[in-house]
Amino acid sequence: MSDSTEKKGAVECYKELGLLLSDPPPEVEKAFNKLKRDYAKAKRSDDPETRNSAIEKLQHLEEMYTTITFSIAYKDSARQYEKRQEEERIARQKKLEEENSTKVICPNCGKISPASFNVCIFCSKSIKTSLLDKLMFWK
Ligand SMILES: [Zn+2]
């Protein structure tokens, strides 16, 4: 158990990368890529010691990344992240639909105005239209 090459647990890997267990995949990716870039740069150093250390660190980093992406915490946060993305997408779409259904073209100036105002916000003329007009316009 005291073997220094023993693989670290996912929790330790998250900690070492400065991540929270709840961080979504893009955050994990970002932390991983940043370190990877740093080590890749060190790998091109003129100093052999720096190069060797960078190679080791890079290998360690890859191992940590594998451990993280195979962990339950990662899979959970990935699932939650996708769910949130989907919820946001639906909310955006709903908002857009609501906005569209409450807008009318002003018969006077031809600009698009919110139907809830009853008068055009541009020319102040009445924009009361029948539901049929709205439906015809937005179809
Ligand atoms: Zn108008």
Mean pLDDT of the chain: 87
Query: If you measure from the C-alpha of residue 86 to the centroid of ligand 1, how many angstroms do you get, rounded to a whole number?
Result: 37
Q: Over range 114-120, report the average pLDDT.
A: 82
Cα four-point dihedral sign 51, 52, 53, 59: positive
pLDDT digits (tens, 9 = 90+) for 96-110: 888 777 788 888 899
Structural domain boundaries in the chain: 10-93, 102-138
Longest dimension (CA), the chain: 82
Residue 42: exposure state from Cβ atoms within 10 A (0-12, 13-18, ≥19): middle
Element (H, E) at 112: strand 112-114
pLDDT tens by residue, 15-51: 999 999 999 999 999 999 999 999 999 999 999 999 9
Ligand 1 center to 99 CA (angstroms): 18
**pTM of the entire predicted model:** 0.64
- The single residue listed with the structure tokens 């962990």 is 71
Ligand 1 geometric centre to CA of 133 (Å): 16
